[in-house]
Structures are given as structure tokens and as C-alpha cells.
Structure 1
Amino acid sequence: MSIFTDLIEDFMEIFMDDFSVYGSSFSEKCHFMVRDGIVLRHKISEKGIGVDKAKVEVMMSLQPPTTVKTIRSFLGHAGFYRRFIKDFSKIVRPLTRLLCKEIKFNFDSKSLAAFHTIKGALVSAPVVQPLD
């Protein structure tokens, strides 16, 4: 048996056409009959699929990275969307160079421009827009 199956058996009992979810609080259980919710980073409601505005606001409020660790974190999150951003690797080259051990950390104007370009791409279509 897989770990996933073992986990389900600890919290859920499945019958032919029904199931029960166990938990010590309501927040641990599934919610049914809700009007909207976030699924795969998109807001799903009776109006259809939309963008999670909170996610866009967080991306817009990002400040430029100041350390190697924050650059690595930013590139890790942005890299998830690299297939949606044309020339991603070319754009982030000034940032990735700062990750090299031989390079002195100097967040210059090229690095700042790269950060703002990627940040702008992350909040524009098709990255945060739902598929049709």
C-alpha cells in the first residue's frame, strides 16, 4: 500500500457511494457546498474560473531581493512559471549570475530590471490567467 492510501485510511472511511472524514476540528475536514474556493491557484465560483486576486497582490508587493538567499527563493517561485514567460532564462541571467560563488554580490540596475521584468510577467496573462 502507498503512503497516500495509508493517510486516507487514517482520516477517511469510504463506502460504496459515500465517505466520512474524521478530524478533531471542523477546519481539518473537507468543505462541501461552498460557493467559491481556490483550486490549483485559481478561484472557482459559480461565475466560472478567475484569478486569485490575493496572489496577484502578493506578487505586486514583492520587494527586490537583497541577498543570495532571497534571489534563490524568488527564482525558485518564478521558475514554476518559466514555461509561460518567453525568454525566461535570458531575462533572469543577471539574477542567476549573482548566485555564483565567484561573483561578488552586486545588485545593480541590470539585476533590478530583470527582477521587475519577471515580476511584471508573473502578474500578466497567461501566467495568472485561467485556461479557457
Structure 2
Amino acid sequence: MLLCIDPGLSAAYPVSSATVTYIPRPPGPLHRPSKSPIASPCFFVKKKDGSLRLVTYYRKINNITIPDQFPMPLQVELVDQVKNAKIYSKLDLRWGFNNIGIKEGDEWKTAFRTAYGIYEYLVMPFGLKNAPAVLQRMMNDIFRHLLGVTVVVYMDDILIFSEKEEDHAEHVKEVLKILRENNLYAKLSKCEFFDKKVIFLGLVITPEGISMEEEKIKAIMEWGAPRKIKEVQAFLGFVNFYKRFIAEFSKIARPLHDLTKKDTRFEWSQECQQAFEEIKKRVSQDPVLVMSPGYPTGVTLGIPLPLPSLPAVREEVGKGGWS
């Protein structure tokens, strides 16, 4: 991690009595007491199982960190690599970012402030600007010969795929062997094996095609009309993830995008409301991109299911793609 200026001080965030027990009491394997002059504030977020995760708000230190230029994989590229698969297994890397140690002498840069004092990480924490790139580089390195062949990886999410069911067991064994050789482990409770349907990166993937995750559809359908520009940006950021499923998305969403332009006064017009409702309507139809092997022109068509009289989504992806 490289710094270019002094980030200044950050005040500690208040914590409730319910979260006090989750505050770390180093020393331990992850952090230790620190005298760092640049401790960042921390807070808690609730996990799916109801427990709390400590999150450090590294905004100030991230602002002065030189970015790691390692490229993160694109969702569309990863999904296209599994388009011919018939069976899947999904692994979740235990401890995620914490599998990577902080360079000796740089620990003070990760310091965080709590009600009980200042501590610094001995391993890479979630929240650092370059953490995703560093983790992705490590995962790409150890799975390099399998990437796009039987494995796709997005940070701590590993998807194993096979075109032939009889080959899948060997593919899974090979991935597990590589993890073990690198002292990495998967969290069994979050793993899925030998499935014909898997949720990966917010998409439902099957041999027949890909569709939107049900809870994401529900979240979009329950989204209230934005009341300020930041809420418009949040909505667009969320639905942009699924724009390949929505015919003429850019055209439909143009009134909303116009609202986010610099120096534009927020005014939620009838046109904006119509665009907002049309996007939700298209999402509610649960469109599916269906695999079409050897499609002669390399053009994909996204067809809403059930099949109303709506235009299809058109994408250029090379011979044999989603249609």
C-alpha cells in the first residue's frame, strides 16, 4: 500500500451496547494494539446469519492510496465462459481478504479506532482500496491454468463448471487440491456441489440460460420513487447490473440518466416516473438469456418469459452465445 500525503485524523464512531461484545480485543491472529497516527473509524454491519461484521471506514486512507491497476473480471465475461456447462459447483473462500498478510512495516496504515483503543491489522482487511485487486491477483495466479476452462473466479467466489457430468468430480477435486496446496479453505456452509442451477454474481445460471436472482427482482420491484439525485444514482447503479436483460435499456433510462448530469436541478417529472415504472415492469417479466450454441451471426436475443409482444434484447457476443 502506497501513500502520498498525510490523511489526517478520524474520530471514532459511537457504538451501542449490543455491539460492544463484537469489538475485537487484540492481540489475536488478525490484529494487534497500535500507536498509528492515522487510525480510521469502524462500525458494524449485520450479516445474513444475524451476526455482526466489523467494517473499517478507510475513506481517508483510500483517498491517498495509489491504486493497484490489476483488472477485475467483468460479470458478463465470467458468465459467458460457462455458457456451455451442464453442471456446477460453487465454493466460498473462507476468510476472504484475511488470507493475505499485510507487508511487515505497513500494518500501521490499517489502524482502526474503537471504544477500547487503536488496533492495526496483521492481515488484509475488507475496505482497503486495493484489497479486491490484491485478492483477485492471488486467485488468478493459483488457478491460472484452469481459468475459463473449468473455473471462473471473482475474488472469494469460485465457480467450477463442466460440460460433461462425468468430468465434474475430477474438476472439483483439482480445485480443492489447489486450495489445500496454497493453505486456503472453503466455507462448507456456503458451498454447493454438483448442481444444475447455481446463483453466481447475482445471476441464476443453468444449462438452459441465465436469469436475474429472485431477491434482486424483488428489491427492484419494491424500490420507491427517488426523491433526490443520490437516490436516482443508487437505483441506476443497481439496475445497470442487469441492463443486458432489458430491451432498449439505455433509451428507457435516458430521463433518469439526464437527472444525474452535472449542474442538473432535481425534478421528478412524469417522464422520469414513466421510465422508472417501465424499468420495473421489464424486470418483473423475469427475462432469460437462453444459450444458443453456434448461433450463426453471434447476435444474442434476450427474450422475456412469458412471451409478450415486446422487443428482444440484442447483444453482439461472438459465435455461440446467450440468446
Q: Decide: shared fold, TM above 0.5.
A: yes
Q: 1:56 to 1:88 in 2, by over 3 A?
A: closer
Q: Deviation at 1:54?
A: 2.2
**Residues in 2 aligned to 1:24 and 1:86: alpha-carbon distance in whole angstroms:** 38
CA separation in 2, counterparts of 1:61 and 1:131? Answer: 27
Tell me, in whole angstroms, the C-alpha distance in 1 between the residues paired with 2:199 and 2:214: 11
TM-score (structure 2 length as normaliser)? 0.30
Name the CA shift for 1:32/1:89 in 2 (closer, same or farther; >3 Å): closer
**2:277 matched to 1:116?**
yes
| 8 Å CA contact retained: 1:91, 1:118 | yes
The aligned residue for residue 290 of structure 2 is 131
Ranked by relative contact order (alpha carbons within 8 Å, sequence separation 6 or more), the top structure is 1
Helix, strand or coil: the match of 1:42?
Answer: strand
Instruction: Report the CA distance between 1:111 and its aligned residue.
Output: 1.0
3-state SS of paired residue (1:131):
strand
Which residue of structure 2 lines up, in the alignment, with residue 66 of structure 1? 227
Q: Secondary structure at the match of 2:290?
A: coil
Identity rate, percent: 28
Amino acid at match of 1:76: G
* Range moving further from structure 2, 83-92 or 66-75: 83-92
How many residues align structurally? Answer: 120
Q: Distance in 2 between matches of 1:30 and 1:114?
A: 39
Paired amino acid for 1:6: M
Find the counterpart in structure 1 of residue 95 from structure 2.
none
Q: Pairwise mapping of residues 66-105 of structure 1 onto structure 2 (< 5 A)?
A: 66-105=227-266
TM-score normalized by the length of structure 1: 0.63
> 1:92, 1:118 within 8 Å by CA — same for their partners in 2?
yes
Does the 8 Å CA contact 2:245/2:289 hold for their aligned counterparts? Answer: no
Greater fraction strand: 2
How far the C-alpha of 1:60 sits from its partner, in A, is 1.4
The verdict on how the C-alpha distance between 1:30 and 1:111 changes in structure 2, with shifts beyond 3 A counting, is: same
RMSD (CA atoms): 3.5
- Give the corresponding residue for 1:6: 138
Which residue, 196, 199, 202 being the options, matches 1:38? 199
* Greater CA drift, 114-123 or 70-79: 70-79
Distance in structure 2 (CA, Å) of the matches to 1:50 and 1:102 = 39
Q: Deviations over 1:18-72 (max 9, x none)?
A: 4155449644x74435685413510659xx7675332222221111122211211
Q: Answer yes or no: is the 8 Å Cα contact 1:49–1:130 preserved in 2.
A: yes
Q: Is the 8 A contact 2:198 2:206 kept in 1?
A: yes
Secondary structure of residue in 2 paired with 1:38: strand
Q: Name the CA distance, whole Å, in 2 between partners of 1:94 and 1:119.
A: 15
- Retained in 2: the 8 A contact 1:71–1:95? yes
Q: From the two aligned structures, give the one with the greater helix fraction.
A: 1
Mapped partners of 1:82, 1:113: distance in 2: 17
Residues in 1 aligned to 2:216 and 2:205: alpha-carbon distance in whole angstroms: 10
